[in-house]
Amino acid sequence: MAAGNATIWKPSPSTPLCSIAVTKIVARVLESNGLPGAVAGLVTGGKDAGEAIAESRDVELVSFTGSEHVGRIVGKTVMNRFGKTILELGGNNASIVMPDADLSMAVPSVFFGAVGTAGQRCTSTRRLYLHRDIAPEFLERLKKLYDNIKPADPLVDGTLLGPLHTSAAVKTYSNTIDHLRSINADIIAGGNKYTDAHLAAGNFVEPTIAIPKSADPSAQIWSTETFAPILNAAVFDSLEEAIAWNNAVPQGLSSSLWTRDIRNLGKWIGPGGSDTGIVNVNVGTSGAEIGAAFGGNKSTGWGRESGGDAWKQYVRWSACTVNFSDSAPLAQGVNFDTAT
């Protein structure tokens, strides 16, 4: 809208009421500033509504946030009509903790990254790589935080852990827990659905810390995103090893390194460092700061939202040459005079 466009928002079919409420707020702001509220349109619905938007030539740019599977379909559909896309897909985000890290900062940040919003942010922390020298202490501190968190209604002040947004998400959580158990992972926190009477009817699940036997990044448990509060942890011996694990998965949205050594920072943000779209140091993976370009690489998609240059994706580009001289210069200064 800031670039002069009207918008159509097609939200997730599982959260239409939130979308309607936000659209009403935006419409009031527009109308109070002399613009029609319809500039911010809203279309609720399922697959048919999404397909219609992706196929319509009236929608010049489609910005899609969702799964990698659906993102591939959207990208192909829009490209078939030579439309433009911004794709913000899966995020299998890792935090790496070095032995010189300030654990009083790193532990609560990893906790929030993995458990905040019940692990339902695209930037939620899914993978945790701990240097061998600090791994036992870090996990002990982190487990204490996990053991003390209490789930509750997210509309109640002070609630830090709410439910997953659908029963299908609970099923995905349970399937992942079953897989962890089948590969003999050590589940040191969580791993179950809450059974308390006041929670059992909802989609509440226990935030989970698991330590798989293998840290092979090509294994399903490491290379697949589970949109739930499940954190898989592994131990490394060198920063180079941890960076290789960070980069080995298909996704590339957000990553975080915890260190106080400037040499580690240089390796992390340099050409041989993290290959994600968001590369943090002493800041967790979870978040989308409005001043920074937001988006990922690899199978996370392409394009950037927020940041100083994001508006450039929402405009048409034209090169314009204006000549007020007495002659028309030819391209590259070519002499095309037949009289000579």
Amino acid found at 95: S
Hey, which residues are catalytic here? Answer: 88
Domain with 111, as residue range(s), is: 93-281
202 and 178, same structural domain? yes
Q: What is the mean pLDDT of the chain?
A: 95
172 and 81, same structural domain? no
* Residue 190 located in a structural domain: yes
C-alpha 322/C-alpha 158 separation (Å) is 61
C-alpha 163/C-alpha 228 separation (Å) is 10
Written as one string, the DSSP assignment of 61-93 is EEEEES-HHHHHHHHHHHHHTT-EEEEE----E
3 state SS of 294: strand
* Residue 57 located in a structural domain: yes
Higher-pLDDT residue of 281, 332: 281
* Residue 289 located in a structural domain: no
Is 203 within 8 Å of 180 (Cβ atoms)? no
Quick one: what percent of the chain has pLDDT higher than 70?
100
207 and 189, same structural domain? yes
302 and 199, same structural domain? no
Sheet with 93-97, side-by-side order of all strands: 186-189, 208-211, 230-236, 125-131, 93-97, 254-258, 278-281
Is 117 within 8 Å of 18 (Cβ atoms)? no
Instruction: Label residue 339 by pLDDT band (50, 70, 90).
Output: confident
**In Å, how far are 151, 232, 248, 310 from 138, measured between CA atoms?**
23, 14, 24, 38
Query: 243-260 pLDDT, tens per residue?
Result: 999 999 999 999 999 999
203 and 81, same structural domain? no
Decide if pLDDT at 340 tops 70: no
Which pLDDT does position 333 carry in this prediction?
84
* Residue 167 located in a structural domain: yes
What number of other Cβ atoms are within 10 A of residue 337's Cβ?
7
Which pLDDT does position 290 carry in this prediction?
79
| Range 129-152 average pLDDT | 98
b/e map 3-30, b = 16+ CB within 10 Å: eeeeeeebbeeeeeeebeeebeebbeeb
299 and 255, same structural domain? no
User: Residue 48 is part of a domain; what is its CATH number?
Assistant: 3.40.605.10
C-alpha 63/C-alpha 86 separation (Å) is 4
120 and 245, same structural domain? yes
77 and 184, same structural domain? no
| Range 72-80 average pLDDT | 97
* Residue 339 located in a structural domain: no
Which pLDDT does position 291 carry in this prediction?
84
Query: What's the pTM?
Result: 0.93
* Residue 119 located in a structural domain: yes
**In Å, how far are 263, 322, 324, 326, 340 from 332, measured between CA atoms?**
48, 16, 18, 18, 19
Query: 113-124 pLDDT, tens per residue?
Result: 999 999 999 999
3 state SS of 238: coil
Of the candidates 286, 234, 275, 279, the residue with the CA atom closest to the CA atom of residue 259: 279
144 and 71, same structural domain? no
C-alpha 140/C-alpha 130 separation (Å) is 12
User: Residue 114 is part of a domain; what is its CATH number?
Assistant: 3.40.309.10
C-alpha 228/C-alpha 193 separation (Å) is 12
Which pLDDT does position 200 carry in this prediction?
86
